[in-house]
Amino acid sequence: MTTTDERPAGFENNDHKPIGHGRMLRKEDPRFIRGKGNYVDDVQLPGMLHCAILRSPVAHARIVSIDTSAAEAHPKVKAVVTGAALTGLGLAWMPTLSGDVQSVLATDKVRFQGQEVAFVVAEDRYAARDALELIDVEYDLLDPVIDVRMALDPSAPVIRDDLDGKQNNHIFDWETGDEAATEAVFASADVVVSEDIVYPRVHPAPMETCGCVADYDRIDSRLTLWSTSQAPHAHRTLYAIVAGLPEHKIRVISPDIGGGFGGKVPIYPGYVCAIVGSIVTGKPVKWMEDRSENLTSTGFARDYIMRGEIAATRDGKILAVRTNVLADHGAFNGVAAPVKYPAGFFGVFTGSYDLQAAYCKMTAVYTNKAPGGVAYACSFRITEAVYLIERIVDCLAYELEMDPVELRMRNFIQPDQFPYRTKTGWVYDSGDYEPTMRKALELAGYDELRREQAERRARGELMGIGVSFFTEAVGAGPRKDMDILGLGMADGCELRVHPTGKAVVRLSVQSQGQGHETTFAQIVAEEIGIPPADIDVVHGDTDQTPFGLGTYGSRSTPVSGAAAALVARKVRDKARIIASGMLEVSVADLEWVKGAFHVKGDPGKSVTIQDIAMRAHGAGDLPEGIEGGLEAQICYNPENLTYPHGAYICVVDIDPGTAQVKVRRFVAVDDCGTRINPMIIEGQVHRGLTDGVGMALMEMIAFDEDGNCLGGSLMDYLIPTALEVPDWETGFTVTPSPHHPIGAKGVGESATVGSPPAIVNAVVDALKPFGVRHADMPLTPSRVWDAMRGVPRPP
C-alpha cells in the first residue's frame, strides 16, 4: 500500500493537532481487536426467548392455509404467530420508508422468495428453527414476475393486488431535467452515442446480519429494543407510529454494528416480529437472521436498467446526456430516500461535466423479488448515476477515438463555475477537478501505462486502463427539501464539559464501523482544545442522545459533524465569557489559542478550558447572566449537500485463455474537503474500492425464471477477499466545502461509487482489440469470454 498522505513519525496520537494529522488511532479499536465489541447477538437477558421466521419457498403464491398446530405442540415453543394473528393486532402490514406498505407476515399472498410467513418463539434458537419445519403452509402458485422488462406487460400478473384498485405493476414515473432542450441539443449534435447499461442487483452482505432483542415490560409498558439499526431515532419514531406505543416509552439501542452499508436503514419485518413476540410472551425475545435470510430478504441495491445517450461535438465537447431507466424495486417499495426523491439522488447523473442540457426519465416497477433499492454504499443512487455517466463518456471516447482522460478534462466544470448549478438543478458546492485528475495520472504513471499497453497489445496481451471521475452529493439534507416520512433530515448534538475538563458529546448518528467515536472526538477537540482522549462520544441509544436521522448517504460528517463543530463553538463562546470574568478583562480582549483564552498582548495571563470548566461548576461568581455548567446543544440543518469528488485509475490484465480479469493496479485520488482522520478516510476508501471489485467482477443477486434467488449463500454470491484486490494506491486533494463549519465533505461511499466504472472501463479497454464498447457487470470470466467472442449480452 502506498499513499501520498501526510505521515508524521510514529503512530502516536497528537492532541495538539486533532484534525487532519496522519495517524490518530481509533478509540474503538482496543475493544474490537480484543473481541470485546458488544453486538446485538451478544445481548443476553434473563429468561430471553428466541424467534425464528418461516419464509416463503416460492416467489409468488396465494396462501391457502397455514397449520401451526404441530409447531405449537413442540414442548419448547412459546408462541407461533401468523399473519392472521397480526391482522387482529393491526400489525400485519407496516409502512416502508418510501410510503408504500409491506407485509410483516404474509396474509393473502407471498410476493417474493424469502418473504416472512409466520414466526415461532421458543426457548432456544434450535427449537425455534426446528418448529418452523412443523408449520404446514399450503400455497397456490401464481406466475411470478421476474424479468423487469415484462413487469408492465398487460398480461403480467398483478403483484400488489393488496393495493386498492391496483391493475398493474407500475410504482412511479419520475423525470428530471429539460426534455425539449435536451432533444434540441441531441438533434443538432455532431455525434450521438447510446448504450444499454445494466447495474445489476447486488447486496451489501455485511459481516453481521440483521437482528434484534426486544424486551417489552408489561408493567411499565416500556419497550427496549437492541437492534442493528443505522438510524435508531428514526426507527423509534416509526415504531411509535406503527405499533401505537408512546415514543417516550420506547428505547432503541444500537450497540456495536458489524457493518451496515445501507442494509440496516430499513425496518425489517423481523424486528416487528420480535417486538410482537415479546409483547405476546412477556419475555425478552431475540431474533438474528442467518446468512441466507440476510442475502435473500433484506435490502438489496441497484437493479437499474439504463439506456444512456450522450451528445457531443466531433472534437469532444460533451453537450448533453439523456437516460431512460427501468428500476426494479422488488415486491414492496422499500427504498430509503428523502420523500421528494423517489429515485434518490440519481439526478446527479450529469457527473462532473459542464453540459448544455440533460434529461432523465425513469419508471419504477414491482417484481416478485425482495424489496429494497438503495443500500450498499449507494449515496442514494449516485452509484448508478456515476456508473452511467462514466461508462457512457467512455463509449463516447471509443467512438471519437479519443483518450478518455483527455475527453474528461476537456469537459470538467471549471473551478470558477462553483457553486455550479447542474442542468438537473443540483448546486455543487465546491470543486477543483483538474488537479485531482492530474494527481491520479501522476500516481499511476498514465503515459507510461499507455506505452506499455501498446507494446503488450502488439504481443496479443490483454491489458486495460480504465479511468473514472466522480462527483457525489452527500449529507442529506436541508430540511426544506429533504425528509424521510415527514422527519426532517437534521441532526442534534449535545456537548457537556465536566468540572475536571473532560467532556462527553452525544450524537444522533450511529456508527457501523466508520470510527465515529474517534472522529467526532477529533472535531470537538479541534474546536474546544480538550484532547480527543478526554472526549467521550456517545451514540446509538435513543435514551442517551438527541434526535436525528442517523447514518447513511455519508451524511454523518456533513450533517452531524457540522453539528459537533457548532455545538463545541457554542460551548467555547460561553467559556469565553467565563474566562473574561476569571481574567477580569472584557471578552473582546481575549484571544483563543487552542485550549486556552489569553489576554491579548499579555500571553502570560491565560486560563485553560479545563480551568474554565472547573470555574463553570465551581463556587466562585460567574459573570452577570451566565448560568453555571458548561454545556450546549444544537440541531443542525445543513444549508446544502456536500459534493466530494475523485479520480480513479484502474489497470487490469485479462488472461486470453480463461478470460479471468485481474486488477493489477488501482489508483484512487479522493477529495472530501477538510480531512478529519486520514487513516480512517484511507480505510473507508480501501473498503469502497474492494466493494467496486466485487460489483464489477463478481457480485450479482440473480434469479431463475421461477423467482428462486440464486445468490442466497456466499458460495453463490461471491464477495471479494484480499486475494482479489490489489495493493490500493491512494492520494488526495483538499477542496473544502464552503458551507460546512470545518469544510469537510462525506467520504464513506465515495470509493464504492467511483470504482466500478473505472474497473469496467479498464476491462472494456482491454477488450478493445475485439471491438468491444460495453459489457455488463459482473465481468465474470464467462461474460468476458462472451464479450471477446461477440456473443450478445444477456438480456
Amino acid at 237: T
Instruction: Select the binding partner of residue 744 from ligand CUN, ligand MCN, none (C-beta < 5 to 8 A, by kind).
Output: ligand MCN
Helices then strands (H, E): number in the chain? 18, 34
Instruction: Select the binding partner of residue 756 from ligand MCN, ligand CUN, none (C-beta < 5 to 8 A, by kind).
Output: none
Instruction: Select the binding partner of residue 327 from ligand MCN, ligand CUN, none (C-beta < 5 to 8 A, by kind).
Output: none
Note whether 346 binds ligand CUN by CB under 6 A: no
Residue 562 CA to residue 722 CA, distance in Å, equals 35
Interface with ligand CUN (CB under 6 A), residue total 14
CA neighbor of 720 nearest in space, from 763, 780, 679: 780
Taking the complex as a whole, the smallest distance from the CB of residue 381 to ligand CUN amounts, in Å, to: 8
Nearer CB in complex with ligand CUN: 230/642: 230
Taking the complex as a whole, the smallest distance from the CB of residue 471 to ligand CUN amounts, in Å, to: 17
Residue 750 CA to residue 706 CA, distance in Å, equals 36
Instruction: Select the binding partner of residue 582 from ligand MCN, ligand CUN, none (C-beta < 5 to 8 A, by kind).
Output: none
b/e map 589-601, b = 16+ CB within 10 Å? bbebeebbbbbee
Amino acid at 775: A
Residue 298 CA to residue 87 CA, distance in Å, equals 23
Residue 520 CA to residue 565 CA, distance in Å, equals 9
Instruction: Select the binding partner of residue 267 from ligand CUN, ligand MCN, none (C-beta < 5 to 8 A, by kind).
Output: none
Instruction: Select the binding partner of residue 374 from ligand CUN, ligand MCN, none (C-beta < 5 to 8 A, by kind).
Output: ligand CUN
Among the listed residues 92, 105, 110, 375, the single contact to ligand CUN using CB under 6 A? 375
The span of 78-86, 373-381, 393-401, 446-454 binding ligand CUN (CB under 6 A) equals 373-381
Taking the complex as a whole, the smallest distance from the CB of residue 567 to ligand MCN amounts, in Å, to: 16
The torsion region of residue 412 among left (phi > 0), alpha (psi -120 to 50) and beta comes to: beta
DSSP strand pairing (222-227 vs 250-253) = parallel
The span of 206-214, 267-275, 374-382, 532-540 binding ligand CUN (CB under 6 A) equals 374-382
Residue 440 CA to residue 446 CA, distance in Å, equals 8
Note whether 377 binds ligand CUN by CB under 6 A: yes
Instruction: Select the binding partner of residue 513 from ligand MCN, ligand CUN, none (C-beta < 5 to 8 A, by kind).
Output: ligand MCN
Residues 6+ apart with CB under 8 A from 276: 81, 86, 89, 91
Nearer CB in complex with ligand MCN: 182/510: 510
Taking the complex as a whole, the smallest distance from the CB of residue 3 to ligand MCN amounts, in Å, to: 14
Note whether 262 binds ligand CUN by CB under 6 A: yes
x/- map, 730-769, ligand CUN, by CB under 6 A: -------------------x--------------------
Residue 292 CA to residue 627 CA, distance in Å, equals 56
CA neighbor of 616 nearest in space, from 569, 579, 567: 579
Binding residues among 540-559 for ligand CUN as defined by CB under 6 A: 552-553
Residue 264 CA to residue 226 CA, distance in Å, equals 13
Taking the complex as a whole, the smallest distance from the CB of residue 256 to ligand MCN amounts, in Å, to: 11
Note whether 474 binds ligand CUN by CB under 6 A: no
Taking the complex as a whole, the smallest distance from the CB of residue 488 to ligand CUN amounts, in Å, to: 18
b/e map 86-103, b = 16+ CB within 10 Å? beeeebbbbebbbebebb
Nearer CB in complex with ligand MCN: 141/533: 533
Residue 76 CA to residue 132 CA, distance in Å, equals 12
Note whether 267 binds ligand CUN by CB under 6 A: no
Residue with cell 472526549: 535
Instruction: Select the binding partner of residue 514 from ligand MCN, ligand CUN, none (C-beta < 5 to 8 A, by kind).
Output: ligand MCN
Instruction: Select the binding partner of residue 372 from ligand MCN, ligand CUN, none (C-beta < 5 to 8 A, by kind).
Output: none
8 Å CB contact between 675 and 522? no
CA neighbor of 117 nearest in space, from 71, 88, 84: 84
CA-CA-CA-CA dihedral for 428, 430, 434, 440, to nearest 10: -90
Nearer CB in complex with ligand CUN: 338/488: 338
Nearer CB in complex with ligand MCN: 331/669: 669
Mark out the alpha helices in 584-702 (DSSP H runs).
609-617, 678-697
Note whether 58 binds ligand CUN by CB under 6 A: no
The span of 136-144, 254-262, 614-622, 684-692 binding ligand CUN (CB under 6 A) equals 254-262
Nearer CB in complex with ligand CUN: 263/673: 263
Taking the complex as a whole, the smallest distance from the CB of residue 553 to ligand CUN amounts, in Å, to: 4
CA neighbor of 48 nearest in space, from 281, 289, 276: 281
Taking the complex as a whole, the smallest distance from the CB of residue 68 to ligand CUN amounts, in Å, to: 37
Binding residues among 194-253 for ligand CUN as defined by CB under 6 A: 230
Instruction: Select the binding partner of residue 676 from ligand MCN, ligand CUN, none (C-beta < 5 to 8 A, by kind).
Output: ligand MCN
Nearer CB in complex with ligand MCN: 293/670: 670
Q: Which residues bind ligand MCN (CB under 6 A)?
A: 206, 259-262, 377, 512-516, 519, 551-557, 672-677, 680-681, 684, 687, 744-749
Instruction: Select the binding partner of residue 677 from ligand CUN, ligand MCN, none (C-beta < 5 to 8 A, by kind).
Output: ligand MCN
Cα torsion 586, 591, 592, 595: sign:
negative
Residue 334 CA to residue 96 CA, distance in Å, equals 5
C-alpha cell at 718: 461471491
Residue 630 CA to residue 26 CA, distance in Å, equals 27
Taking the complex as a whole, the smallest distance from the CB of residue 648 to ligand MCN amounts, in Å, to: 17
| Residue 730: strand pairing partners | 3, 668
Taking the complex as a whole, the smallest distance from the CB of residue 671 to ligand MCN amounts, in Å, to: 9
Residues 6+ apart with CB under 8 A from 504: 495, 496, 498, 535, 536, 537, 538
Instruction: Select the binding partner of residue 680 from ligand CUN, ligand MCN, none (C-beta < 5 to 8 A, by kind).
Output: ligand MCN
Residues at the site binding ligand CUN, with contacts judged by CB under 6 A: 230, 260-262, 265, 374-378, 380, 552-553, 749
